Amino acid sequence: MRPDLLDRVLSLLPAQGDRPELTDFAAMLRDYPQRGGKGIRSELLLASARAHGAGPGTPAWEGALWLAAALELFQNWVLIHDDIEDDSEERRGRPALHRLHGVPVAINVGDALHAYMWAAVHRAGVPGGMEEFLTMIHRTAEGQHLDLTWVQRREWSLGEADYLEMVRLKTAYYTVVVPLRLGALAAGATPDERFTAAGLALGAAFQIRDDVLNLAGDPVKYGKEIGGDLLEGKRTLIVLHWLAHAPEEQKRVFLDQMRRDRADKDGAAIADIHRWLLESGSIEDAQTYADRQAREGLALLTEALKDAPDQTAARELLGQMRGLATREA
Amino acid sequence: MRPDLLDRVLSLLPAQGDRPELTDFAAMLRDYPQRGGKGIRSELLLASARAHGAGPGTPAWEGALWLAAALELFQNWVLIHDDIEDDSEERRGRPALHRLHGVPVAINVGDALHAYMWAAVHRAGVPGGMEEFLTMIHRTAEGQHLDLTWVQRREWSLGEADYLEMVRLKTAYYTVVVPLRLGALAAGATPDERFTAAGLALGAAFQIRDDVLNLAGDPVKYGKEIGGDLLEGKRTLIVLHWLAHAPEEQKRVFLDQMRRDRADKDGAAIADIHRWLLESGSIEDAQTYADRQAREGLALLTEALKDAPDQTAARELLGQMRGLATREA
């Protein structure tokens, strides 16, 4: 995230406490934001605000910046809790917060950061902003619930429609729909109704692209562990496509591995599955599906932005969106 | 909590979802509120609103009721996360939420309920209400952090001042200080400055009374397991007082038991410790301390309410507070 936005985020958080334990607590609140996320969602929000005429120098820009800070705080408290829920080992190149300080402390840090997010929404003072954050949290939590329930029940009898509903709820709202809408609201405009359909399609494309990169990306560019999603047992469109057509023996090996906790998975079997997936054509299928979603989303978004006050900024926003759906990292 | 307030809380929550998993999720959101908490904090808030002239029939009463609903939602999402953090077995006579649905799902349910709390705060539309909830969450999370850190570090070298700081942050703000202040704000009044000192003293008295009942209460009236705090290794004023004067051998047994997880604690040793505590006089000392805090808090609160518009309601509020600090259950 851009340095001035990080400063804004940190300005809301305590730098130290009245006693050593509370100074530690303050450091934990600042930890994830300081690990340097890409700031994808806040950039989209700010690009949308500019397209709607609320660029730097306008009185509305300050509100847009506070909403952008709130969106980053959202991302960070959610990641703290997600990392516990998935028992992730690392986040942005360092151990996940609960691996450093234990689950109880990390849950509590996430809760406090959640409240600081609302402080940023409040500071923005943008009419309709609070409702937008409420919708965003509810949709994201519902998507997360689908994902967690499927993991818990070891549920793999899922189709394309199930996957799509999950990623729309879990990823598309907070990654695209809500940033687009918040940018309009910050400018005092009514968000175009097409932002929702456009954002759901683009958000799904974004997530499927991420799933593709996780299996077939360039390890250097991608940054995360290639195949990590297999070890975590993530439901992806690729795996669900493949499962629908895989030979029985391969399916058996896959389901056997997916019944195991991460630590008990067999590296050789996972490597086999990875190879089967690469050879099956399911990755290309998923990429084709993502490309179609991205095209439809971009077409809708182009329509929706046709009358936006700042057409230069609108083109930048479209370019940014296109880049996210086709990215290499 | 009173039935009409429960209805108000439930009216904010979804009754069902678009698919079976999300209908389950909706039921999980409604579970804790429906288990029937006492509604102590919402009653205090409403009594404070009445004392400030915002009783039933006034336009401000509706705002007070939404703030009361928000306070109950706060209590419920915090309990879901607390139960995970303390790995509690039961809540209000039924298994804790994470014992029914697993830790990942329960964290996520708590997060969604947290957001519904903000929806209630927003619906109240009371100026200053949002700031009050922000302060409340931050103080409570700090108090919880002290408690969790001490548990994690097996820290028992703590004095009366440490305990007092912890319970003020963790319990007194959300139990007394903030309900008193929110009642005033709902009525459009500036909260009296003395509410803070009064609420901190009364909140500490409330918690110490709870600690006393946990060790020496009437099992039938109290409802919870007598001695449960010992099994959970809770820091209480009673234990800290006792530790400061206990014979070395008793201290050794105590610290040995406290090093163990709940399941590994020795029932006979815990029963010995319980008896030592009962015989030591530390329970009476703690009760005396709580009585002094309650007296000081009530004196301050009486002063602060001297000019409140509704003196009948102010007397009821004082009676309610006195009852909490001296309760048997």
pLDDT tens-place string over residues A153-166: 999 999 999 999 99
Cβ <8 Å between A118 and B134: yes
SS (H, E, C) chain A: CCHHHHHHHHHHCCCCCCCHHHHHHHHHHHHHHHCCCCCHHHHHHHHHHHHCCCCCCCCCHHHHHHHHHHHHHHHHHHHHHHHHHCCCCEECCEECHHHHHCHHHHHHHHHHHHHHHHHHHHHHCCCCHHHHHHHHHHHHHHHHHHHHHHHHCCCCCCCHHHHHHHHHHHHHHHHHHHHHHHHHHHCCCCCCCHHHHHHHHHHHHHHHHHHHHHHHCCHHHHCCCCCHHHHHCCCCHHHHHHHHHCCHHHHHHHHHHHCCCHHHCCHHHHHHHHHHHHHHCHHHHHHHHHHHHHHHHHHHHHHHCCCCCCHHHHHHHHHHHHHHHCCCC
Measured in degrees and rounded to the nearest 5, phi and psi for residue B95 equal -60, 145
At B213 the three-state DSSP class reads helix
CB proximity A139 to B under 8 Å: no
**Mean pLDDT in runs of 10 for chain B (329 residues)?**
94 96 98 93 98 96 98 98 93 95 98 98 98 98 97 92 97 98 98 98 96 86 78 92 94 95 90 94 94 96 97 97 85
- Is B118 in contact with A130 (Cβ distance < 8 A)? yes
pLDDT in tens, A232-281: 889 999 999 999 999 999 999 999 999 998 889 999 999 999 999 999 99
The interface predicted TM-score (ipTM) is: 0.96
Query: Cα–Cα distance between B226 and A87 in angstroms, integer?
Result: 35
Tokens of A246: 């895989």
Taking the C-alpha atoms of residue B102 and residue A149, their distance in angstroms, rounded to an integer, is: 10
Q: Which of A272, A198, A190, A181 is nearest to A230 (CA)?
A: A272
- Grade residue A134 by pLDDT with cuts at 50, 70 and 90: very high
Q: How far apart are CA B216 and CA B242, in angstroms?
A: 15
Residue among B119, B131, B144 minimizing CB distance to A108: B144
Q: Which of B13, B18, B21, B29 to mutate to test the interface with A (most CBs of A within 10 A)?
A: B21
Nearest CA distance, B30 vs chain A (angstrom) = 14
Secondary structure letter of residue B125 according to DSSP: T
Of B81, B108, B145, the CB nearest to A148: B108
pLDDT band at A228 (very low <50, low <70, confident <90, very high): confident
Tokens of B263: 């399941």
Tens of pLDDT, residues B75-112: 999 999 999 999 888 999 899 999 999 999 999 999 99
DSSP letter, residue B192: P
Mark out the alpha helices in chain B (DSSP H runs): 3-12, 20-34, 40-51, 61-85, 97-101, 103-124, 129-152, 160-167, 178-186, 194-216, 219-222, 228-232, 237-245, 248-258, 267-280, 282-304, 311-325
Structure tokens at A292: 């179609």
**What span, in angstroms and rounded, lies between the C-alpha atoms of B210 and B215?**
9
Asked if A138 lies within 8 A of B115 by C-beta distance, the reply is: yes
pLDDT at B187 (0 to 100): 98
- Give the tens place of pLDDT for each residue, B142-183: 999 999 999 999 999 999 999 999 999 999 999 999 999 999
pLDDT digits (tens, 9 = 90+) for A90-103: 999 899 999 999 99
Is residue A27 over pLDDT 90?
A: yes
Q: Which of A13, A16, A21, A76 to mutate to test the interface with B (most CBs of B within 10 A)?
A: A21
Domains belonging to chain A, first-starting first, are 3-319 (1.10.600.10)
Contact map slice: A 12-51 vs B, CB within 8 A: 17, 19, 21-22, 24-25
- Restricting to A residues 211-240, those with a Cβ less than 8 Å away from any Cβ of B are none
The three-state secondary structure class of B301 is helix
CB under 8 A, 24+ apart: contacts of B304-310: B304/B192, B304/B194, B304/B195, B304/B198, B305/B51, B305/B192, B308/B51, B308/B52, B308/B53, B309/B51, B309/B52, B309/B53, B309/B187, B310/B50, B310/B51, B310/B52, B310/B53, B310/B55
- Selecting from B119, B142, B152 the residue whose C-beta is nearest the C-beta of A25 gives B142
Report the C-alpha gap between B146 and A25 in whole angstroms.
9
Task: Give the nearest partner residue to A146 out of B21, B85, B131, using CB atoms.
Answer: B21
Q: B111, A114: Cβ pair inside 8 Å? A: yes
Distance CA A92, CA A280 (A): 31
| Cross-chain residue pair B145–A86, CB shorter than 8 Å | no
A155: left (phi over 0), alpha (psi -120 to 50) or beta: beta
Could you tell me which residues come within 8 angstroms of residue B321 by beta carbon, excluding any fewer than 6 positions away? B44, B176, B202, B297, B298, B301
Distance CA A321, CA B11 (A): 38
Q: What gap in Å lies between CA B297 and CA B148, rounded to an integer?
A: 27
Q: Mind giving me the DSSP string for B236-300?
A: -HHHHHHHHHS-HHHHHHHHHHHTS-GGG--HHHHHHHHHHHHHHTHHHHHHHHHHHHHHHHHHH
Contact A204, A293 (CB under 8 A): yes
Nearest-CA residue of chain A relative to B102? A152
Q: H or E element: which one contains B91?
A: strand B90-91
User: How many Å apart are CA A63 and CA A31, to the nearest integer?
Assistant: 25
Beta carbons of B199 and B191 less than 8 angstroms apart: no
Whether residues A108 and B115 touch (CB distance < 8 A) is answered with no
How far is the C-alpha of B80 from the C-alpha of B111, rounded, in Å? 9
How many CA atoms within 13 Å lie on the side-chain side of B120?
27
Contact (CB<8Å) B103/A103: yes
Residue whose C-alpha is closest to residue B79's, from B100, B66, B98? B98
Mean pLDDT rounded to a whole number for chain A: 95
Dihedral of the alpha carbons of A182, A188, A189, A191, in degrees to the nearest 10: 20
Please, which residues 160-199 of chain A have a Cβ atom closer than 8 Å to chain B? Answer: 165
- pLDDT tens readout for residues A266-319: 999 999 999 999 999 999 999 999 999 999 999 999 999 999 999 999 999 999
Are the C-beta atoms of residues A97 and A28 closer than 8 Å to each other? yes
Among candidate residues B324, B78, B76, B41, the one with its CA nearest the CA of residue B202: B324
Structure token digits, residue B149: 């850190």
User: At what angle are helices B129-152 and B61-85 packed, to 10 degrees?
Assistant: 20
Task: Count Cβ–Cβ pairs < 8 Å, chain A vs chain B.
Answer: 124
Closest partner CB to A107 (pick from B81, B133, B137)? B81
Per-residue confidence (pLDDT) for residue B37, from 0 to 100: 86
Helix (H) or strand (E) holding B95: strand B94-95
Mean pLDDT of A44-56: 97
Q: Stretch A209-221: mean pLDDT, rounded?
A: 87
Q: Which of B28, B84, B108, B131 to mutate to test the interface with A (most CBs of A within 10 A)?
A: B108
Kindly tell me if the per-residue pLDDT of A73 is higher than 90: yes
Collect all residues of chain A within an 8 Å Cβ-Cβ radius of residue B151. 104
CB B191 within 8 A of CB A143: no
Report the pLDDT value the prediction gives residue B213, as an integer from 0 to 100.
92
**Is the distance from CB of A146 to CB of B21 less than 8 angstroms?**
yes
Task: Determine whether the interchain pair A141/B81 forms a contact, defined as Cβ–Cβ distance below 8 Å.
Answer: no
Q: What does the pLDDT read at residue B33?
A: 97
Query: At CA B253, angle to CA B251 and CA B256, rounded to 5?
Result: 105
Calpha distance B172→B165 (Å, rounded): 10
Predicted pLDDT at B261: 85
Please give the helix or strand (H or E) that residue B94 lies within, else none. Answer: strand B94-95
- B126 token code pair: 């009371």
Query: Contacts of residue B133 in chain A, CB cutoff 8 Å?
Result: 115, 118
Contact A142 B17 (CB under 8 A): yes
**Structure token pair of residue A48:** 């949308």
The pLDDT assigned to A172 comes to 98
Contacts of A323 (CB under 8 A, 6+ apart): none
- CA of B185 vs chain A CAs: smallest distance (Å): 18
Nearest Cα of chain B lies from the Cα of A97 at a distance, in angstroms, of: 14
Report yes or no: A37 and A75 within 8 Å, Cβ to Cβ: yes
Q: What's the length of chain A? A: 329
